Amino acid sequence: MSVLDSKVPKGPIKDKWTTYKDKINLVNPANKRLIDVIVVGTGLAGGSAAATLAELGYNVKAFAYQDSPRRAHSIAAQGGINAAKNYQGDGDSTYRLFYDTVKGGDYRSREANVYRLAEVSANIIDQCVAQGVPFARDYGGLLDNRSFGGVLVSRTFYAKGQTGQQLLLGAYSAMNRQIARGKIQMYNRHEMLDVVKVDGKARGIIARNLITGEIERHSAHAVVIASGGYGNVFFLSTNAMGSNVSASWKIHKKGAFFANPCYTQIHPTCIPRSGDYQSKLTLMSESLRNDGRIWVPKNMDDVLAIREGRKKPTDLSEDERDYYLERRYPAFGNLVPRDVASRAAKERCDAGYGVNATGEAVYLDFAAAIQRYGKEQAKIQGIANPSADKIYELGQKIVEAKYGNLFQMYEKIVDENPYETPMMIYPAVHYTMGGVWVDYNLMTTVPGLYCIGEANFSDHGANRLGASALMQGLADGYFVLPYTIGDYLSDDIRTGTIPTDTPEFDEAEKEVKDRIDFFINNKGTKSVDYFHKRLGKVMWDKVGMARNEKGLKEAMAEIKAIREEFWKEVSVPGGANEMNPELEKAGRVADFLELGELFAKDALTREESCGGHFREESAEEDGPQKGEAKRNDKDFAFVSAWEYKGEPADAVLHKEELEFKDIELKQRSYK
């Protein structure tokens, strides 16, 4: 295995990015127009990168499998975007954002990248305001902030519950300006099916026109992958159904290392599954935890009565409710990090306190917030002795102004009014922490091949803090990659256009066509979804939140068997030279079946408990109790750095906590 060189600059962490930019090689404006760059994916990371690179003068080709960049999955991000501007005057700073991110990620992040992320975060907000992003504002007209999990300050900028959509429209408008100038060639409804290497460098891609089925060759001096995460390896996730690993996996098979593939964000605030017929899960924004209180009944009799319809949650008094996050983590309460909230919800439900028919749900209750806001508004409006109904009316209006579209979405899906009945939520697969390994320049182990946004591994460690996904995507695209890519491209100003009529392009195109021909001509009897669902069940049951050695070894064997059956029995209707969604899915699921085994292999090598995962003793292994999570000084067991033997962990954190020694803890990369 090659030795990985992160290329992190020397010197104090707070000076690394500034010093680096001062000494980096650049491409002058006249030479930028001689250089071509391919960007695969046009969500927030890819869209901002394409727009910025084109604005600088590079010739950009941007590829989206959707019919428009506006359809990228970034629009699904609801709650907000972090930035260390300290508008609230509550003690925020670049260092505190850095600290929270590293601690929240269980010290598995690359600290130099995270400090840079915190540094440029404030610039993102200014950029987006200039683009017209309609962030929420306070009474005085200043940008408003709210708090998210894992922090003690309010640093999250938001646009109601539509932040991702509004930010994406900002990036899309910047892209459109460059498309109109001819600096971006936009390829909608195109999917990258392979990367092409020439003399060891990434020099182009093979893409399929998803409308006509035509296979196309596209060359460039550098290729940027910005294709998002791979949560759909679990089949059921909060990701859009089209979200996939294929671009990342193709470059992995051409030599780009993968890092931490088994780290997955488990989001605590999702609508519980309702049956086997579902194809995806629905996310409710983490911002709801600012005002919603999470609880389950204290008594098992009440749990059974609620499940059987003999009681409503509103029938239970405060004394009959267990606000378990407030009880366990008084400093953070309902705003603990996502991994802590997710594991705590699973622990309560596994103990039998789940409140829906499947036993997999806890309550998220807004009654107290409605009362609090109602009384406050009554005072503001000078209403003396307001009635209970008036307090409720005033409070509901405030909650509706903050979260209205989220409540509306919940009611449409569950058919219950969340203003009157507490929401039900349960953890679900969301963001992926692992991804393609990149160095400080965001370059993979293949020269000229970059990876940005969720598709890379670097910034979030084992668990991402809420509202940091949008921050990383836009930081990479607007402010980091445009600098670092110039250092590489400065050697290409005399290279000229990369030809596509070469043996390397011939070979890559042949591989792509052979695979497509196999899918179309295979005489199998089972659908693509049949295999995807089977993979997802193995992944969730044995490679999900709770894992042990026995289960992981079983998972690897089962995934291998599913993959072998897939190649014999998969059936893909339709033809190759037409629009064929089943053909698209077949290629993506084939990649998931390979990733799944690597995912389980990575989990097997890690005996630690961290992020959204805790490592149990196998049933046949010796332990405190069979099946119980390990608890010792090396593993922060059930909830890693946030809880130690059931208590808050601030007193027993790593000694490196305040030193941040650029430790890349056991980042395992496989060829």
CATH of 505-630, one of 3.40.1390.20, 2.40.50.140, 3.40.50.2000, 1.20.58.100: 1.20.58.100
How far, CA to CA in Å, does 125 sit from each of 60, 122, 178? 25, 6, 21
Q: Is the pLDDT of residue 6 over 60?
A: yes
Collapsing DSSP states into helix, strand and coil, what is residue 216?
A: strand
Q: Is the pLDDT of residue 628 over 60?
A: no
pLDDT at 608: 87
Q: Which helix (H) or strand (E) holds 270?
A: strand 264-270
Nearest residue to 269 (alpha-carbon basis) of 329, 216, 199, 340: 340
DSSP 385: S
- Helices 388-414 and 367-380 cross at an angle (nearest 10°) of 140
Average pLDDT rounded to a whole number, residues 483-502:
97
Cα 531 to chain centroid, rounded: 24
Q: Is the pLDDT of residue 638 over 70?
A: no
Average pLDDT rounded to a whole number, residues 435-457:
97
pLDDT at 139: 85
Q: Pairing between strand 362-365 and 321-322? A: unpaired
pLDDT-derived band at 660 (thresholds 50, 70, 90) equals: very low
Q: Is the pLDDT of residue 668 over 80?
A: no
CB 325 within 8 A of CB 319: no
Count the alpha carbons within 13 Å of 596 in the hemisphere toward its beta carbon.
36
Which pair of tokens denotes residue 136? Answer: 């929420």
How far is the C-alpha of 146 from the C-alpha of 290, rounded, in Å?
A: 8
Between 263 and 279, the higher pLDDT residue:
263
How far is the C-alpha of 150 from the C-alpha of 7, rounded, in Å?
A: 30
- What share of the chain in percent tops pLDDT 90? 82
pLDDT tens digits, 139-188: 888 999 999 888 999 999 999 889 999 999 999 999 999 999 999 999 99
Residues with Cβ < 8 Å from 268, sequence gap 6 or more? 286, 289, 338, 341, 342, 345, 425, 427
Q: From the CB of residue 611, how many other CB atoms can be counted at a distance below 10 Å?
A: 31
Collapsing DSSP states into helix, strand and coil, what is residue 263?
A: coil
pLDDT tens digits, 456-488: 998 999 999 989 999 999 999 999 999 999 999
Buried/exposed code over 156-193 (b: 16+ C-beta within 10 A; e: otherwise): bbbbbbbbbbbbbbbbbebbeebbeeebbbbbbbbbbb
How far is the C-alpha of 237 from the C-alpha of 245, rounded, in Å?
A: 14
pLDDT at 160: 85
Identify the sign of the CA torsion 331, 337, 340, 344.
positive
Torsion of CA 131, 135, 141, 144, to 10 degrees: -140
Count the alpha carbons within 13 Å of 639 in the hemisphere toward its beta carbon.
27
CB 434 within 8 A of CB 245: no
pLDDT-derived band at 614 (thresholds 50, 70, 90) equals: confident
How far is the C-alpha of 37 from the C-alpha of 49, rounded, in Å?
A: 10
pLDDT-derived band at 286 (thresholds 50, 70, 90) equals: confident
- Write the single-letter amino acid at 226: A
pLDDT tens digits, 201-224: 999 999 999 999 999 999 999 999
Between 351 and 161, the higher pLDDT residue:
351
- What share of the chain in percent tops pLDDT 70? 92
Strand-by-strand arrangement of the 59-63 sheet: 184-187, 59-63, 36-40, 222-225, 449-451
Collapsing DSSP states into helix, strand and coil, what is residue 296?
A: strand
Cα 93 to chain centroid, rounded: 24
Q: Is the pLDDT of residue 582 over 90?
A: yes
SS (H, E, C) 597-609: HHHHHHHHHCCCC
Which pair of tokens denotes residue 43? Answer: 């969500």
CA-based max dimension of the chain? 83
Average pLDDT rounded to a whole number, residues 276-297:
90
Average pLDDT rounded to a whole number, residues 272-299:
89
Domain with CATH 3.90.700.10 in the chain: 273-428
DSSP calls for 505-536: HHHHHHHHHHHHHHHHH---SB-HHHHHHHHH
CB 274 within 8 A of CB 467: no
Residue with tokens 């997955």: 264
pLDDT tens digits, 367-422: 999 999 999 999 999 999 999 999 999 999 999 998 888 999 999 999 999 999 99
How far is the C-alpha of 365 from the C-alpha of 386, rounded, in Å?
A: 23
Q: Pairing between strand 36-40 and 222-225? A: parallel
Residue with tokens 């962030």: 135
Choose the catalytic residue: 338, 348, 588, 606.
338
pLDDT at 279: 84
| Residue 517 exposed, middle or buried by CB count within 10 Å (0-12, 13-18, 19+) | exposed
Q: Which of 87-101, 139-153, 399-413, 652-666 has the lowest mean pLDDT?
A: 652-666
Active site residue 348: no
How far is the C-alpha of 339 from the C-alpha of 47, rounded, in Å?
A: 29
Phi-psi region of 455 (alpha: psi -120 to 50; beta: other; left: phi over 0): alpha
pLDDT-derived band at 79 (thresholds 50, 70, 90) equals: confident
pLDDT-derived band at 349 (thresholds 50, 70, 90) equals: very high
Which pair of tokens denotes residue 375? Answer: 């009384």
pLDDT at 618: 58
Buried/exposed code over 417-439 (b: 16+ C-beta within 10 A; e: otherwise): ebbebbbbbbbbbbbbbbbbbbb
Number of H helices and E strands in the chain, helices first, is 18, 22
- Taking domain 273-428, whether its CATH number is 3.90.700.10 is answered by yes
Please, what is the end-to-end C-alpha distance for the chain in angstroms? 8
Between 629 and 605, the higher pLDDT residue:
605
CB 286 within 8 A of CB 267: yes
Between 608 and 249, the higher pLDDT residue:
249
CB 217 within 8 A of CB 562: no
Q: Which helix (H) or strand (E) holds 290?
A: none
Phi, psi angle pair for 37, to nearest 5°: -130, 135
Q: Is the pLDDT of residue 533 over 90?
A: yes
Domain with CATH 1.20.58.100 in the chain: 505-630
Which pair of tokens denotes residue 184? Answer: 């971006």
How far is the C-alpha of 197 from the C-alpha of 203, rounded, in Å?
A: 6
Mean per-residue pLDDT of the chain: 90
